[in-house]
Structure 1
Amino acid sequence: MDWGSTWDFLWHFLIIFAWIAYLLVLFQILTDLFWRDHQTSGFVKALWVVFLFVIPWFAALVYLIARGQGMAVRAREAAVAAKQQTDDYIRQAAGRSPAEEIAHAKELLDAGTITQGEYESLKSKALA
């Protein structure tokens, strides 16, 4: 068995793993900088980008140490906002709840717009 080729394979595997790990961290940092962090100035963002490409591993490590806590808070806030938008869209797309439909029908009945029979019909449709 040729151990040289095995160690070469393992070394290349490690290099590829490190490269992919760095890309994942880089994309997380860039996402945090440009889409979630609205308080940092453009000049500071540009400096971070320069450092991330000039001294990649060191800059990424410093960023995660210095701003990691804020990064987690901003990610959580973005997730909560996305969930809220999704819930609002679902509520809007689904229409009114059965209770809201019945209440609306009752308002129409009280205003004299519909008859008692129409009210009962709308109520049974809402409950179906």
Structure 2
Amino acid sequence: MSHPLLNAFWMIFWFFLWIMWFMLLWRIISDVFGDHDLSGWAKTGWIIFVCVLPFLGVFIYLIVRGKSMTARQIQRAQANQQQFDDYVRQTASTTPSNSAEELSKLATLKADGVLSEAEFQQAKQKILA
């Protein structure tokens, strides 16, 4: 007796497992290439092992290096966040303070009579642009 709904369930189940395995395989390959502690030969060995014996290779990789995968991912995320934060701090801190400092210097020069009104306006427009 054939049950189309049960057949559809099994088809969806196996399809889900197949997609999940590909996602896991992709994660492992990106972890292998993202690990700077592995030598080129070790990376090659893991990739060949995972490609030649796909299921066994993935499971053995997870057993051997699975715990450190998360640590490496966290380190990469923290390094990326640190680079982003440094960039934002550098960009945010240099532009306004330098502009304010330069405008203050220009105002002082104008007050001292070193710059004329036209020169002051021209320099001010250059700083604010």
- What range is the shorter-chain TM-score in? 0.5 to 0.7
Q: Which position in structure 1 is the counterpart of 2:38?
A: 40
- Who is 2:12 aligned against? 13
Task: Give the CA deviation at 1:72.
Answer: 1.3
Q: Please report the RMSD computed on the Cα atoms of aligned residues, expressed in angstroms.
A: 3.4
Q: CA deviation at 1:98?
A: 3.9
State the alpha-carbon separation in 1 of the partners of residues 60 and 52 from structure 2.
13
Structure 1 equivalent of residue 110 of structure 2: 115
> Structure 2: which 5+ residue stretches go unaligned?
112-116
Which residue matches 1:60?
Answer: 58
Alpha-carbon distance between aligned partners in 1 of 2:93 and 2:15, rounded to the nearest angstrom: 50
> Alpha carbons of 1:14 and 1:90: their partners in 2 closer, same or farther (altered >3 Å)?
farther
Q: Deviations along 1:63-98, whole A, 9 cap, x unmatched? A: 122212321122112112222333305743x56354
Q: Give the total of aligned pairs.
A: 117
Structure of higher RCO (CA pairs closer than 8 Å, 6+ residues apart): 1
Aligned residues with identical type, % of pairs? 29
Structure 1's unaligned 5+ residue stretches are none
Q: TM-score, normalised by structure 2?
A: 0.67
TM-score with structure 1 length normalisation? 0.68
